Amino acid sequence: MTQAAMIDQDVLERVLAAAVRTGAEFAEVYAEDKRSSSIGLDDGKVEQVTSGRDRGAGIRVVKGDTTGFAHTADLTERGLLAAAEAAAAAASQGDGGTRTIALTRAGTRTVSPVERYPDDVRKADKVAVLQRIDGTARSVPKSQHGNIVQVSAGYADSRKHILVANTDGVFVTDEQVRTLLRMTVVADGDAGMQTGSQSAGHTMGFELIDKVDVEALARDAARIALTKLNARPAPSGALPVVIKKGSGGVLFHEACGHGLEADLVAKGGSVYRGKQGELVASPLVTLVDDGTMTGEWGAIGFDDEGHPSQYNVLIENGVLTDYMWDFLRARKEGRRQSGNGRRQSYQHLPMVRMTNTYVLNGAEDPDDIVRATDYGVYVAKLGGGSVNTASGDFVFGMTEAYLIEKGEITEPLREGNLIGNGPQVLRDIDLLGNDFAMGNPGTCGKDGQGVPVGDGQPTLRVKSLTIGGTAA
């Protein structure tokens, strides 16, 4: 299937003209054709193999502050016209004149080239990768505290063609191919069971398997599980916290990234409202959202409103420079779109969303950051958490952490929480490493929609964060 075959240009022009016939100012067709597959392996046995296809279009019509939206799985002209009329009726009851729509198709824009399409790969070859994970994790020698007792591994891929056309004359197509590996390893010992996990996901094809050291990921997941069998309770109270490269990007995504999305700013749901041009972080911090980052999980050629992805500097040397924008917010505020209009599927309206959000490199050697910390916590991996975007307050789990004593990483710690405030954390970063890395692939949830995102950062130190541990 070629992208051009989804909907003919003359059909799109007629559908858009029908959508604005009753006086609407703007109409848009977003169509997609997505094929996906997944395989799950549990204790060496294939537990599930799934594949699916989602195909359809969503039509948005805007009149004033009112938006009408309808979606359909019928991509014939008749089906699209029916959806356009439904969306137009929801947006406006007035009478309008005839409007001719002329579309100009944009050229191809490839941000993440694909070497080997996953749908051309045999299922047996995909299963073989999971079997390698299982065998490698189980081969890790047991420690004096326990051994590996369970391994679960999963593989998933997707290939999505999108098409966006609107009454401003935009007409673009894009292809997004993603491949993902995940694994969870369980170790059992005298202190009970502990888990270790790893994942690798990129906007690329099955060549991911050649570019990622699958066995190293499996060994690392097993190492984490075994190490945690000997973990001591995490301390509690305010301490310096060193966050390993790549592992803390989720903190910036959640604790400040959402607060820089223009729709939340407009609703008064962001602590960063009205602070453009102000110092909101340590001068060491430059925060970027970058949809053009080749191969990364949040990379896109165009956003889901047809705007090219961009490299957007949000905070520069501690100063808030801009927010992220979608079409509606940018139009209302007289701003330029930033390529951050994203949606989960054709059944959803677009909204402001991040792509790949990360902190740029600093100047410090990461080992020197640890040596400069007399007593604190070293976080090697953060887990899930919750954030209040209006206040910036957050709680994040630490899934792999260690004690720092006299400038050295010492004992592993049991899982605990990091508790703090996003704006305060940004101000309290006092050491920033030169070892930037992206973290694990993620799915960002907002208003019931999930989209793929990436995040990352160099090793850094926050001079004070509250640790929710259990040590007396």
Which residue segments constitute the domains of the chain, with CATH numbers given?
Answer: 3-34+52-105 (no CATH), 118-161+173-228 (3.30.160.150), 237-468 (no CATH)
18, exposed or middle or buried, with CB in 10 Å at 0-12, 13-18, 19+? buried
Q: List, in sequence order, the alpha helices (H) in 107-213.
A: 123-139, 208-211
d(CA 257, CA 301): 21
Asked if residue 327 lies in contact with residue 263, where contact means CB atoms within 8 angstroms, the answer is: no
**Cα-flanking dihedrals φ and ψ of residue 383, to 5°?**
-105, -155
CB atoms within 10 A of CB 63: 21
Residue 251, strand partner residues: none
pLDDT at 99: 54
Q: How many angstroms separate the first and last alpha carbons of the chain?
A: 62
pLDDT at 2: 40
pLDDT at 94: 45
Q: List, in sequence order, the alpha helices (H) in 356-452.
A: 366-371, 422-427
The pTM assigned to this predicted structure is 0.93
pLDDT at 101: 63
DSSP run (H or E) holding 32? strand 26-42
94, exposed or middle or buried, with CB in 10 Å at 0-12, 13-18, 19+? exposed
pLDDT at 28: 97
3-state SS class at 228: helix
Give pLDDT tens digits for 151-196: 999 999 999 999 999 999 999 999 999 999 999 999 999 878 999 9
pLDDT at 185: 97
∠ at Cα 146 (378, 191), nearest 5°? 70
Give pLDDT tens digits for 296-336: 999 999 999 999 999 999 999 999 999 999 999 999 999 99
What tokens were used for 108?
A: 């191809």
What tokens were used for 152?
A: 């679960």
DSSP run (H or E) holding 84? helix 77-91
Q: Give the start-end residues of each E strand in 414-448.
A: 416-421, 429-432, 437-438, 442-446
Q: CA gyration radius for the chain? A: 24
123-139 and 214-228 helices cross at what angle (nearest 10)? 40
pLDDT at 469: 65
> Within the chain, which residues score under 70 in pLDDT?
1-5, 93-101, 469-472
Q: CA-based diameter of the chain, in Å? A: 80
